[in-house]
Structure 1
């Protein structure tokens, strides 16, 4: 049985990815803060015949994230697919507010780097050696499209962090050629679950499955934003997982 670890699992995209991969026979490991919410997702997936287990951890706490992924391997076996899609909570945004390009400071960037970039590096580096040793595995990183394909100056401090993550994953994709391990980035220019078909969690999760099975795409852009998005100056909700 193969295992997918969803780091940053939430009630929308995380749930949909778990359901999609679980339907294909994967065991599902749900990693995020909030054991109660994860438990609800796991219970729902279990009711659909999917083996889903909860591994609570704060992504910004590297030792805790390492312990969670170690526990996944001990209970469910090697991680065949790592999906990383962190999303800030309201408390996160109060502690580390989103700022525009003109207002960016060192301090405003550091907290975003901790969540989006450093947490991702830690998660990938935990599972990558095993994937390389086995000659198989997939790393899927999901972020807002402001990481590169879309210019979103009103959420600039987040995009500095997600842009760094995107750049690393695209370079990792190139470096892994011929190893049997595939790395890819999904850029979401949509409010998940609030637009048309393209923004539906199950649609996006289906694209994750395609990226894992086809193994040809280094990046996929999901687009479903209102035309007045930039004028509205809304907070970045792309990564709401």
Structure 2
């Protein structure tokens, strides 16, 4: 049976390598990020490798845009079996000096719309007994005053995965976060914390489905 993965926050690092990893296993690929030009580049690259790819541009901080983009890629792909939420507002926003609306906007990207995205694909995930993969980070355990909103977001990702994995257990939908406790670098710089190795870890988590928060 045909199957697909939707990646929100698709970029040249983790997002693209997760697409490749799942593509090798027979998944059709949906890519969503802000810039259409970059998405077309990723699409061309992946299609040249033999994968079926659908793209849609959306700002992960804007719920309506994101829902529309999800529906758009779903209309071109097989049933959604996996959702990978890889978006975060990567900015140095200390909580005491950051404006209220900026904190809210960062949390929309890193937290609120992660949940909204899951809700958007939930009917398909229930039908396919699918998987949600969330990109976590070391800030969940080691919060930084300098990176205040990212620390909040990554801490929340861990709690989202635990709560929703419990809530969806009876539907056989697995929700898991991969808590990446290192700086992502190239393979030459780091054998563990590089996009290919991390993509393999996401694949393993999707197959093992044994822990809602895997520390990597």
TM-score by length of 2: 0.91
CA RMSD of aligned residues (A): 1.8
The answer for the alignment partner of 2:170 in structure 1 is 178
SS state at 2:104 partner: helix
Equivalent pair of 1:109/1:160 in contact (CA under 8 Å): no
Q: Structure 1 residues 135 and 54 mapped into 2: Cα distance closer, same or farther (>3 Å)? A: closer
* Partner of residue 131, structure 2: 138
SS in 2 for 1:209: helix
**Aligned pairs, number:** 213
| Structure 1 residues 87 and 81: alpha-carbon distance in aligned structure 2, compared to 1, 3 A threshold | same
Match of 1:54 in 2: 55
Q: Which residue of 2 aligns with 1:159?
A: 151
Which residue of 1 is the match for residue 211 of structure 2? 217
Structure 2 partner of 1:225: none
Gaps of 5+ in 1: 223-241
**Correspondences of 1:1-241 after superposition (within 5 Å):** 1-88=2-89, 93=91, 98-100=92-94, 102-103=96-97, 106-132=100-126, 134=127, 136-146=129-139, 148-194=140-186, 195-222=189-216
Secondary structure of 2:151's counterpart equals helix
> TM-score, normalized by length of structure 1?
0.82
